[in-house]
Amino acid sequence: YWLFRHFRPELRDTTGFIDYALHLSLQHQLSYWDALYVALALTRRCSLVTADARLYRSVNRSVPNVCLL
């Protein structure tokens, strides 16, 4: 609970990311849900930290702000 309160995650509307996430999904052979995370990180210019090695390998060359745990 402390971490949740400390970092205060934001709920974001993904409506504006639908087309972009679909494009990323097809381009990098990602699930649509993974592509939404990538699209959000790219548009917000923030890091995406993941433990998903497949996601990381799929995008690490073209999306530099994805970090593997």
Query: What angle do the packed helices 32-44 and 18-28 form, to 10 degrees?
Result: 110
Q: What is the pTM of this model?
A: 0.78
Q: Name the DSSP letter for residue 10.
A: P
Give the pLDDT of residue 1. 66
Q: Name the pLDDT band for 7 (thresholds 50, 70, 90).
A: confident
Nearest residue to 21 via CA among 48, 1, 51? 48
Q: Tell me the chain's radius of gyration from C-alpha atoms.
A: 12
